[in-house]
Amino acid sequence: MSLLEVINLMVFYENAVAINNVNLSCGKGLITGVFGANSAGKTTLMFTVSGMILDTARKEKMRGGIRITVMGDILFEGRSIMDVEPSRRAHLGIVLCPERRRIFKESTVIENLKIGGIIATKAQARTTLEYVFRIFPALVKLRKREAGFLSGGEQQMLAIGRALMAQPKFLLLDEPLLGLSPVMEEILINAISDVRRAIGLTTMISEQYARPVFPIIDYGYVLENGGVVVEGPAHDLMENPDVKSAYFGLQEE
């Protein structure tokens, strides 16, 4: 059963199409990968599902900036969320962990995590905090450190930890591995995989290259110029020669 369904989604920035008739679905408890080059539309898709695009569209309108148009439908647990505000979507369990780790740089690690847990009950926040420290033990000794002083990888751990504190049912991870070393990539991938095993969290993860996330995804979509060009179970994608060379960095033997 799908937890999230995107139907004929179109997003325009003025007259330029950023998401072009996208249909996708994310099965409950599964990890769905969305792959594509720069400007393929990954961030726009994440912003549209989380509802952040509504805020951006409103801000642009107020300052007389660009016109953002969204068409089509997004169903979460079978109901349309197209008109649901982003804060309400977060309460429903749709939580975005944005690209480039937008943490509060002047707050400490523990403060960032507690801010993430604002919509959780006290008991949930306590249990989740323990869990976050278990999957990211490096954060324990950094708990009083200002987030701005953490390394890129530590900041990404914190960003994911903060998103988990919000008790997601559906977690959106926008390019979580961007700019990280292979060692750090592995730590994060193991943590994301642990979260799925431990709490069966449904996740959508976007990356430019599929290779590092391939071992943990169930189903994947490849976006080009805002449209889905290939989709399939992880194994089938890996066998597709086009996908293999462009997104896995592997050549046909």
Which stretches of the chain bind ligand ATP, using CB under 6 A?
13, 18, 36, 38-44, 66, 99, 208
Nearer to ligand ATP, 40 or 205 (CB): 40
Output the smallest distance, CB 77 to ligand ATP, in A.
25
Q: Which residues contact 9 (CB under 8 A, 6 or more apart)?
A: 19, 21, 22, 23, 45, 48, 70, 71, 72, 73, 74
Output the smallest distance, CB 187 to ligand ATP, in A.
22
Nearer to ligand ATP, 23 or 127 (CB): 23
Distance of CA 69 to the CA centre of its chain: 22
Label the pairing between strands 94-97 and 170-174: parallel
Q: Which of 112, 2, 14, 9 is nearest to 61 (CA)?
A: 14
Output the smallest distance, CB 152 to ligand ATP, in A.
16
Q: Is 230 helix (H, G, I), strand (E, B) or coil?
A: strand
Q: Which of 97, 102, 101, 116 is nearest to 46 (CA)?
A: 97
At residue 116, what is the residue type? G
Output the smallest distance, CB 179 to ligand ATP, in A.
12
- HSE at residue 112, side-chain half, CA atoms within 13 A, is 31
Output the smallest distance, CB 167 to ligand ATP, in A.
26
Nearer to ligand ATP, 42 or 101 (CB): 42
DSSP assignment letter at 129: H
Nearer to ligand ATP, 38 or 251 (CB): 38
